[in-house]
């Protein structure tokens, strides 16, 4: 299996969650209220799975290793765009959390912010995933030897194995600090 196999499989699950977020966006319009519990679940999914797990593997392993290669100008530009898009998504999720908190506190303007931010993420992820799947991942595998690809795939598995420990160690440390 190419190292990008797990990344592309992760894309399929992210796409499923984005469809659920799109459904929630439509339901918000129909019922004229938001579901804060759904937003919390969506934020946790995006932060933990899409960002820390998936984007983490891209940034901490794939992009790191690609940065050491003599990339074409197009691939180097696309990689920079992808990193900037990850930063954009993190900012939108942070704003979504803030808007949800304002909504729960009764801020009348927060509903529009929730709609807008959910809409941004629902629009963002399909285009971002398409760029990675169709224009970046497959051609970039040509920069690596078979051995380098095998090493990267193992690094992805190791990354996943440590992720749950990282998440819950951080949770306990935050609670202890309070």
Q: Is 123 left (phi over 0), alpha (psi -120 to 50) or beta?
A: alpha
Percent of the chain at pLDDT > 70 equals 99
pLDDT band at 168 (very low <50, low <70, confident <90, very high): confident
Tell me the DSSP string of 96-155: HHHHHHHHHTT-TTHHHHHHHHHHHHHHHHHHHHHIIIIIIIHHHGGGS-HHHHHHHHHH
Task: Calculate the alpha carbon distances from 64 to 18, 56, 79, 81, 98 in Å.
Answer: 27, 11, 10, 15, 31
* Cβ pair 37, 127 in contact under 8 A: no
State the pLDDT at residue 1.
67
pTM: 0.92
User: Averaged over 29-40, what is the pLDDT?
Assistant: 93
Per-residue pLDDT tens digits for 77-90: 999 999 999 999 99
Would you give the DSSP letter of residue 34? -
Radius of gyration of the chain (CA): 18
CATH number at residue 162: 1.20.120.520
State the pLDDT at residue 124.
98
Per-residue pLDDT tens digits for 152-161: 999 999 999 9
Closest among 59, 62, 55 to 2, alpha carbons compared: 62
Pull the structure tokens for residue 85. Answer: 């898009």
User: Averaged over 100-122, what is the pLDDT?
Assistant: 96
User: Averaged over 48-55, what is the pLDDT?
Assistant: 94
Which residues span the domain enclosing 69? 4-177
Domain count, the chain: 1
Query: What is the Cα–Cα distance from 15 to 141, expressed in whole angstroms?
Result: 23
pLDDT over threshold 90, residue 139: yes
Helix, strand, coil percentages for the chain (3-state, nearest 5): 90, 0, 10
The whole-chain average pLDDT of the chain stands at: 95
């Amino acid at each position: 299996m190419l190292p990008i196999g797990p990344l592309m499989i992760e894309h399929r699950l992210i796409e499923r969650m984005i469809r659920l977020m799109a459904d929630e966006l439509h339901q918000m319009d129909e019922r004229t209220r938001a579901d804060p519990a759904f937003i919390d679940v969506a934020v946790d999914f995006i932060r933990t799975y899409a960002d820390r797990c998936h984007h983490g593997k891209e940034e901490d392993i794939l992009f790191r290793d690609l940065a050491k290669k003599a990339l074409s100008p197009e691939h180097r530009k696309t990689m920079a765009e992808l990193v900037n898009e990850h930063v954009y998504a993190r900012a939108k999720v942070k704003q979504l959390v803030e808007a949800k908190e304002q909504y729960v506190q009764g801020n009348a303007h927060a509903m529009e912010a929730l709609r807008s931010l959910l809409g941004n993420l629902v629009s963002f992820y399909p285009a971002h995933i398409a760029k990675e799947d169709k224009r970046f991942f497959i051609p970039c595998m040509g920069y690596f030897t078979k051995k380098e690809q095998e090493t990267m795939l193992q690094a992805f598995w190791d990354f996943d194995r440590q992720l749950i420990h990282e998440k819950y160690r951080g949770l306990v440390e935050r609670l202890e600090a309070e």
